[in-house]
Chain A
Amino acid sequence: MTALALLHGLTGGALIGLGAAMLLLVHGRIAGISGILGRAVNTDGGRTIRLGFLAGLIVTGAILAVLQPSAFGAGVRGAPALAIAGVLVGIGTTLGNGCTSGHGVCGISRRSARSIVAVMTFMGSAALTVALVGAHA
């Protein structure tokens, strides 16, 4: 890995942390993307926050895709495998109450025992999956 890749990683991570911290400071909410998406239109008082966050995430991604297309990679597998993967991610994050952001970034920072167990579990099963099926088709 090059020094530039290291710098990209740390800078990107810092910005993710800042975005998540802003959601907590302003709105008092954990920046867990699966929860924000899964409960997007729930009527519990947080709908505007969730829809705003999702709009910012998706629109900014779209703008960056125009400015820097090389920052977006192609799918590593065909559509059938990606559909199966999507269903698994949807089911798993809903049952497990979180993904890489909610359990990973926010949960580890809060030293939540649940999140630490969740992260070790999904990192383990993800690494095992790649070991079994390869990093790409």
Chain B
Amino acid sequence: MKTFVLAAFAGALFAVGLVVGGMTIPAKVTGFLDVGGAWDPQLAFVMAGAVAVYAACLRIIRRRAAPLLDARFHWPAARTIDARLVGGAAVFGVGWGLSGYCPGPALASLGAGSSSVLVFVVAMIGGMALTRVLIPAR
């Protein structure tokens, strides 16, 4: 229960950040990506603020031997830069540019009740499941 509630609080903070930052407005996201057009730089500040705070916290958290409620930190194990990483990122970017939704803002927007975000999220979960079935995890 404690684990669930604390993780939910982290998710809640994350959601407030996405909404305050403007990430739940797809036109703002595509406006940010429209570097050759009417460029909207706001999301660059969202990324800068997030990286600045996370990087500062990371310096402090890394001094600990373990997190508060687990025996160890679960750092990503992968190290190699391969075609799968680059190809996957490229495909993700096409979907992001087309819709203005990346996974976090799409989930945070579900409750706003628009059918377009629901279509996106169902399709995204389908794409994730399909990839896991067809292509074995590394």
- Per the CB 8 Å criterion, the residue count for chain B at the interface is 116
Cβ 8 A contact of A1, one of B40, B86, B92: B40
Cβ 8 A contact of A16, one of B6, B50, B115: B50
CB distance B26 to A129 under 8 Å?
A: no
Given contacts A24-B57, A87-B124, A96-B89, contact A53 B44 (CB under 8 A): no
Cα distance A89–B94 in the bound complex, in angstroms = 8
The chain B residue with its CB closest to the CB of A45 is B70
Cβ 8 A contact of B112, one of A10, A50, A72, A99: A72
Residue of A18, A26, A100 with highest tally of chain B CB at under 10 A:
A100
**B71, chain A: closest CB distance, angstroms:** 8
Q: What are 16 A-B pairs at a CB distance below 8 A?
A: A5-B22, A12-B22, A13-B51, A19-B10, A49-B3, A52-B5, A55-B11, A65-B112, A75-B114, A92-B88, A101-B103, A104-B50, A125-B93, A129-B33, A129-B94, A133-B97
